Amino acid sequence: MTLATPISSQAATSSPPADALPITQGLPFTDTVGAWVPHGAFTIAPTANGPLDGLRFAAKDLYDIAGLTTGAGNPDWLATHGPATSTSPVVTALLAAGATLVGKTITDEIAYSIQGDNTHYGTPLNTRAPDRVPGGSSSGSAAAAAAGLCDFALGTDTGGSTRVPASYCGLWGLRTTHGLVSTDAMAPLAPKYDTATWLAQDSNVFAQVGDVLLPDNAVPFDRVLTFTDTWEAAEPAFQAPLERVTTALAAALAHPEPIAVERIRIADAGLEAWRQIYVTASAYDAWETHGAWIGANRPRFGAAVDGRFKTASAITAAQADAAFASQDAIRAHVRQVLGATGIAVLPSASSAAIPRNAGGEAVDIVRANTFRITCIAGLAGLPQVSLPFIGDDGLPLGVSLMGPAGSDRALIHLAVAIGRQLGCLGTVAG
């Protein structure tokens, strides 16, 4: 994993990086939802023709572009890092497939939140629920895609940073198998959990991006599971869509005999215990990654992010070792339950997006509830695709399919087929 070069260690040269791309300043549209960072208004043309010809994408301000400085959602990060020396392989692949990059979008600071606000750059507008947050940390990417200002947008997902905004904004989104899509030339939060991801309104576009970024695979899915403890952790509005997806999935996988849905509680120790393990392990990883920079630069963080890093700084190596050992057991358990051909149905978040003016206590409660669900894929390193619905309350919500490691591309195509059958947002029946 590479970071933008700190200013103090840059060579005194004006020569552009070897792989610098021709950059045009400005965006070909007006940012009507406050999704772009001030230093992210630029355009890069495709480097070749390909399957993504004519599509525009934005990149979360964690992805490096050679010659530009990555901001990671914090002005002090921007000020203490110099221009990147290389471009993210993900960005490079998309440009080579014919897509046009239209700048960089807001992220919660150092991607350390699932709320979607940023003390320095503001809260992007969630066009499907304007009085509510877009979710984070891929907040700008979700807002941009939901508003139709780009066809898809790159995000990241460490603890839920794509699945949650996808659910809040009514988008197709995912967490990829950990390590399957390159996170080189990308500012990290916690490398043991970070994944490169994307969001889109249109299910076909969502799948086309997967066809470019993911290895081809054919997985003979033949089992359907529900993690009932995750269903119980979500608000009532999720229950009907969860059942619809489960029923449709079981019917789709019948070969030709009907499939009996396996309804199990995945966390014997309870999802709260799993959440605590994830929080401890990932926070330790985040402090190992950023503690030296924070100590040297004293960056100005918003109160919530500042509090998380302070908590992370106090985690001992012994506590982290215990959490990592517990994670190993959880990872083995979840992977064994799914096997090589199983798919689990679970909520993408615990609730609809919360109001933009919600207080800190309300935010903390929703965050904890949601992490009880999202931590599973993070601990197990597994792919999870979120299908967008509108609940009975009129608000967007996501239902997810979780599959075996490396099944991402097959999982996406199955999810899109199920979404088309059920009339999910962004699909055309047929």
Catalogue the active-site residues: 60, 137, 161
Strand arrangement of the beta sheet that strand 223-227 belongs to: 100-105, 56-60, 152-156, 196-200, 172-175, 384-390, 396-402, 342-347, 223-227, 262-264
Of 240, 262, 267, 233, which Cα lies nearest the Cα of 250?
Answer: 262
Q: Which residues contact 53 (CB under 8 A, 6 or more apart)?
A: 46, 98, 99
Q: Where are the alpha helices (DSSP H) in 81-191?
A: 89-96, 139-146, 163-169
**Which of 19, 10, 139 lies closest to 83, judged by CA?**
10
Element housing 399 (H / E): strand 396-402
For 257, 342, 363, the CA distances from 370, given in Å and listed in that order, are 35, 23, 11
Helix intervals (H) in 176-260? 203-213, 228-233, 239-252
Contact 53, 98 (CB under 8 A): yes
